[in-house]
Structure 1
Amino acid sequence: MLLDNHGRKINYLRLAVTDRCNLRCFYCMPEEGLNWLSRKELMTYEEMLLLCTVLVQMGIEKIRITGGEPFVRKDIMQLLTALSALDGLKELTITTNGVLTAPYVKELKSIGVKSVNLSLDTLDSNRFFSITGRDEFANVMATMDELLKNNMEVKINAVVMDGKNTQDIIPLVELTKELPLSVRFIEEMPFNGDGHVYNGLKWDYVRILEEIQNHYPQIEKLTDPLYSTSYNYQVKGHKGSIGIIAAYSRTFCGTCNRIRVTPVGELKTCLYDSGILNVKDLIREGRNEEHLRNIMINTFNNRAKDGWEAERLRPANNNVHESMATIGG
């Protein structure tokens, strides 16, 4: 069992395989876009597999593949297939925007991927274009349909943004009436790469819940799974469920079981830290598995208590406004 210095179990890795994305969501990257990383700056699949092998041996039981958008990276199924075969890994999942995903659904299921998180902030095609900068709504919906048709567990991730898509909260909840999926509303975070001063939220998890309760007074609280980042609910009679993730309020830090690795190999023990250790550099220096294991254990033994402390510990010239595409979600 892998524990941090606060006694929290660490068994979940979020691995970002690329910073590139085929959408341009304004809450994820600056308006002018990003200077994409060169291929040599990214971790290779071989390096990712080595790192994941070591981490699974240490106690990581779940790996989520993120980006950027994972399916824009060439031959991504090779990595996913190799990861799915790791002895000791209990769960392999993916977060995707769904633009390119539909053709891979059957193959994903065949290698044991049971759950996919689909980013979808609106059910209106015009607002989708406004938020993402791309006319890909139909492809995303096709992916959702394909996932459900193949009996995959589907979680819709919707970032709630004042003045952009709050009118979509109720239509998204309505999806759960007939579809066996979970719609998770996420507080907007400051990771969009533009460096502006972030003055908090108008739509925090409390207000999101109040909005839903106003339309569905029969909403019921569900038991939250162990390590859950979401407060979970269900409207009586609906097939699906609802989650609300207090990502900016950071109410779930006390039970956080996850670590992140960015596309360039930066290990983050908290979403809000500035990166603690570059594992890609260690691998390329020829450090063996024992050295990787020891240095990561030391890193986990110096983990911030919560997201607020992690943010305070960042260097003075390093604020929290890097792009989510470069962090990995």
Structure 2
Amino acid sequence: MRDRYDRKINYIRLSITDRCNLRCRYCMPNGLSDWVPMRDILSYEELLDVARAAAALGITRFKVTGGEPLVRRDCPEFIGELKRIPGVEQVTMTSNGVLLTRLLPRLLENGLDAVNVSLDTLKRERFSEITGMDELPAVLSGIDEALRAGLKLKLNAVLQPGVNEEERWELLSLAKDRPLDIRFIELMPIGHGKDSRPVYNEILRSELKERFPGLERDERVHGNGPAEYWRIPGYRGSVGFISAMHGKFCGSCNRIRLTSTGKLKPCLCYGNAVDLMPVLRGERYLGREREGERIAALRKRIRQAISEKPESHCFERLSEISEERIMAAIGG
């Protein structure tokens, strides 16, 4: 399906929970416990109804997110149900990696196509400072186990001045002997990210070119997102840059986002959303005998959200950002 700017929308990010087992300082600082009641979180059956409606409109690629999706019981089996929907071509997941080793066999059994793992440091003490938890060994174990199993894997790193910016080369070295991509993501001014300063990718790219004169653009397709990839001579993996602030990629945006509470967001930057709850839980649409009517109503609202996608975000103009929720509540 195409939006009013003729962009092909074939990708949806499904948040299945706002809970997380870490407390990253730029996402969910320690002490935050204002969870959405479970009764207000979409059930797996409701999420699957949304996925069926989306697939019928030509959305073929699904990313399961949170919060931390693996803290929700039976997440691997939900991924398997997504994979079985006609028209779904790919199901991937974003995770902090803490539970990856434990749940990897079930994720593989249910057909997970790839995983993105967030990792901002390789120093154990600093990991605890950034995330609020001493879980770096578990994350590194999960990364290695996933690679050994042949699962496609990307690492997402957010650099911050005075926090971890000097670790850029150490993080990058993970792609030297491992078949993974390391992606540097500019910190977006959403939620608690508004209180922190980013390290801009244009600076990182310049430094990378100086350090590796043989650097080449990597034109291969690495996933569904807006990352720009480069290949370093002698490295098994590639380095990617997601530059929301200084590399605006809105012209090729192909996604919409569903929060765990049923709000379909056309753009991360703005607070407006299309509410799917009246369809998912409205008496008019309840019962399996009304499944066709419910899916048709969901398709209509998904079309509405896609039609309302703005031409671009406004992260560079902070006063115009209308999204006030934290990333865990939106779906990272």
**Normalized against structure 2, the TM-score is what?**
0.91
CA gap 1:141/1:328 in 2 versus in 1, 3 angstroms: same
Deviation string for 1:77-100 (max 9, x for gaps)?
231121111111000000000111
2:261 is equivalent to residue 260 of structure 1: no
CA gap 1:222/1:11 in 2 versus in 1, 3 angstroms: same
CA contact (8 A) 2:79 2:111 kept: no
CA contact (8 A) 1:26 1:192 kept: no
The Cα of 1:105 is off from its aligned counterpart by 1.6
The Cα of 1:250 is off from its aligned counterpart by 5.4
CA gap 1:313/1:88 in 2 versus in 1, 3 angstroms: farther
CA contact (8 A) 1:14 1:260 kept: yes
* Structure 2 CA distance for aligned equivalents of residues 98 and 64 of structure 1: 15
Residue of structure 2 in register with 1:302 after alignment: 308
* Structure 2 CA distance for aligned equivalents of residues 248 and 35 of structure 1: 29
Percentage of identical aligned residues: 34
The Cα of 1:221 is off from its aligned counterpart by 1.4
SS at match of 1:160: coil
* Structure 2 CA distance for aligned equivalents of residues 212 and 130 of structure 1: 27
Deviation string for 1:262-315 (max 9, x for gaps)?
11111011111213211123211144221221232133222210112998997x
Residue of structure 1 in register with 2:296 after alignment: 290
- Farther off after superposition, 22-31 or 55-64: 22-31
Moved over 3 A (4+): 192-196, 224-228, 309-314, 318-321
In structure 2, stretches of 5+ residues that fail to align are: 286-293
* Structure 2 CA distance for aligned equivalents of residues 181 and 296 of structure 1: 33
* Structure 2 CA distance for aligned equivalents of residues 273 and 137 of structure 1: 33
* Structure 2 CA distance for aligned equivalents of residues 52 and 300 of structure 1: 15
CA contact (8 A) 1:47 1:283 kept: yes
Match of 2:326 among 309, 323, 327: 323
Pairwise mapping of residues 47-196 of structure 1 onto structure 2 (< 5 A)? Answer: 47-193=46-192, 196=195
Residue of structure 1 in register with 2:242 after alignment: 245
CA contact (8 A) 2:95 2:115 kept: yes
In structure 1, stretches of 5+ residues that fail to align are: none
CA gap 1:202/1:121 in 2 versus in 1, 3 angstroms: closer
Q: Aligned partner of 2:114: which letter?
A: S
2:214 is equivalent to residue 214 of structure 1: no
* Structure 2 CA distance for aligned equivalents of residues 195 and 145 of structure 1: 33
Deviation string for 1:104-125 (max 9, x for gaps)?
2222222221211011111111
The Cα of 1:227 is off from its aligned counterpart by 5.9
SS at match of 1:260: strand
**Normalized against structure 1, the TM-score is what?**
0.91
* Structure 1 CA distance for aligned equivalents of residues 191 and 315 of structure 2: 21
* Structure 1 CA distance for aligned equivalents of residues 194 and 160 of structure 2: 18
Q: Aligned partner of 1:301: which letter?
A: S
The Cα of 1:210 is off from its aligned counterpart by 2.0
Q: Aligned partner of 2:314: which letter?
A: W
* Structure 1 CA distance for aligned equivalents of residues 257 and 152 of structure 2: 23
The Cα of 1:228 is off from its aligned counterpart by 4.2
Residue of structure 1 in register with 2:268 after alignment: 271
- Farther off after superposition, 99-108 or 127-136: 99-108
* Structure 2 CA distance for aligned equivalents of residues 20 and 79 of structure 1: 17
Aligned residue pairs total 322
What is the RMSD computed on CA atoms of the aligned residues? Answer: 2.2
Q: Aligned partner of 1:290: which letter?
A: A
- Farther off after superposition, 168-177 or 210-219: 210-219
Q: Aligned partner of 2:153: which letter?
A: V
SS at match of 1:267: strand
* Structure 2 CA distance for aligned equivalents of residues 12 and 253 of structure 1: 14
